[in-house]
Amino acid sequence: MNIYGFTYAQLEEYLRQHGEKVSKAPFIYQGLYKKQIDSLLDVPDIRLSLREQLASDFSLALPRLVQQTDGDDTVKFLFSLQDGSLIEAVLMRQAYGNSLCISSQVGCNMACAFCQSGRFKKVRNLQPAELTGQIIYIQKRLHLAISNVVLMGIGEPFDNYDNVMQFLEIISHPRGLALGARHITVSTCGLVPQIEQYALHPSHGLLAISLHAPDDETRSRLMPINRRYPVTQLMNAARTCIQNTGKKVMLEYVMLQEINDHPRQAQLLADLIGADDFHVNLIPYNETQNLNFTQSSRERILAFYDVLKKNHITVTMRREFGSSVNAACGQLRADYEKQQNT
């Protein structure tokens, strides 16, 4: 078993089952997440026999680095898991701290037309330890603290709901990585039942919805999930989340030239939001050589932005990250596998 997948409550239960006091749990979690030990024999302030028992029962295995690509403001990591599966993570250096975008699945079944990772069919879900391991590895390798975690890499987090929720419990625990809810963002392409379920857990992080179009015709063309959960149903689920948590829901909107970036679509989006507490994030499309989409011009993005502002919609334009390091989801994996096959 990999101990990075154990919640604090599960660790306490392990100690009880082995006749140990649960008061040892804080020292173990502190060793894992504060001191970032390399061996369970190094857990501080507990007796040697318990350390040896932990080292016998648990692994501290982390993903293996296959490739690291550094840019001005990003670092892209290609990892191999124990079964040889490849995933990606992207570190983004920002004024307010280090944000890490991690993967939640090996491959993805959502098949969004503009997404490179959608070209790789889902192989399996990541386990909680494999989610946590991405953070631990990068913190150790670069000797830095991750201040924000975003589940927006390869995979659909809500298609791996139970493992993702266990992971969120681990990284948000005050004795673990102690990331507050406002420093964790879970992104979904629109799995309505899971959004409604997530709305019952207000402490686990912010919700971002990959919307990308305000109407069913355009969105269904870009995102097949819309045929199952159309825009109105999706927005109603998002409103439930706002009501239950008291937090804004982010609407992610990738700007695609002459597809979803017309001012009339901006007005449709403003009408769809109305007076509700949404925050629209306009994202320059990170072009890949394998997909036939182009990034909207700055003029079209600004015109779209202006329509939303005139309708009193909270909107930001994300600074472009990672174009120099193949940071589009799945792009580094695709390039690596292409090189291996030539």
Q: How many domains are there within the chain?
A: 2
Statement to judge: residues 44 and 148 lie in one domain: no
Final residue of a domain: which of 12, 38, 57? 57
Average pLDDT over residues 80-102: 94
Q: Tell me the C-alpha distance between 269 and 288, whole Å.
A: 26
Of 15-24, 139-148, 201-210, 215-224, minimum mean pLDDT range:
201-210
Statement to judge: residues 225 and 318 lie in one domain: yes
Of 113-117, 206-210, 276-280, minimum mean pLDDT range:
113-117
Average pLDDT over residues 146-172: 97
CATH number for the domain that contains residue 34: 1.10.150.530
Start-to-end Cα distance in the chain? 37
For residue range 269-296, what is the model confidence (pLDDT) as tens digits?
A: 999 999 999 999 999 998 875 678 999 9
Statement to judge: residues 10 and 114 lie in one domain: no
Return the HEC string of 17-37.
HCCCCHHHHHHHHHHHHHCCC
Statement to judge: residues 50 and 110 lie in one domain: no
**Res 120: pLDDT:** 78
- Contact between residue 228 and residue 194 where contact means Cβ atoms under 8 Å apart: no
Take residue 47 and report the two structure tokens written for it. 């007796």
Statement to judge: residues 41 and 127 lie in one domain: no
Statement to judge: residues 92 and 224 lie in one domain: yes
Q: How confident is the model at residue 124 (pLDDT cuts 50, 70, 90)?
A: very high
- pLDDT surpasses 80 at 338: no
Statement to judge: residues 82 and 44 lie in one domain: no
- pLDDT surpasses 60 at 339: no
Q: How confident is the model at residue 148 (pLDDT cuts 50, 70, 90)?
A: very high
Check 88, 130, 156, 252 and give the catalytic one: 88
Final residue of a domain: which of 35, 57, 79? 57
Q: Tell me the C-alpha distance between 65 and 77, whole Å.
A: 7
Statement to judge: residues 167 and 146 lie in one domain: yes
Q: How confident is the model at residue 322 (pLDDT cuts 50, 70, 90)?
A: very low
Task: Identify which has the larger pLDDT, 163 or 324.
Answer: 163
**Res 202: pLDDT:** 75
Rg (CA), the chain: 21
Q: Does the annotation count 88 as an active-site position?
A: yes
Final residue of a domain: which of 41, 57, 73? 57
The C-alpha angle 10, 15, 17, rounded to 5 degrees, equals: 95
Q: Name the burial class of residue 126, with classes exposed (0-12), middle (13-18) and buried (19+) by CB atoms within 10 angstroms of its CB.
A: buried
pTM of the model: 0.92
**Res 336: pLDDT:** 45
Mean pLDDT of the residues in the chain: 92
Average pLDDT over residues 58-80: 96
Statement to judge: residues 230 and 329 lie in one domain: yes
Residue 192 φ then ψ, to 5°: -60, -45
**Res 290: pLDDT:** 60
Statement to judge: residues 188 and 83 lie in one domain: yes
CATH number for the domain that contains residue 187: 3.20.20.70
Q: Which domain holds residue 34?
A: 3-57
Check 101, 112, 115, 329 and give the catalytic one: 329
**Strand partners of residue 108:** none
Statement to judge: residues 46 and 130 lie in one domain: no
Statement to judge: residues 231 and 248 lie in one domain: yes
- pLDDT surpasses 50 at 46: yes
The C-alpha angle 106, 149, 324, rounded to 5 degrees, equals: 70
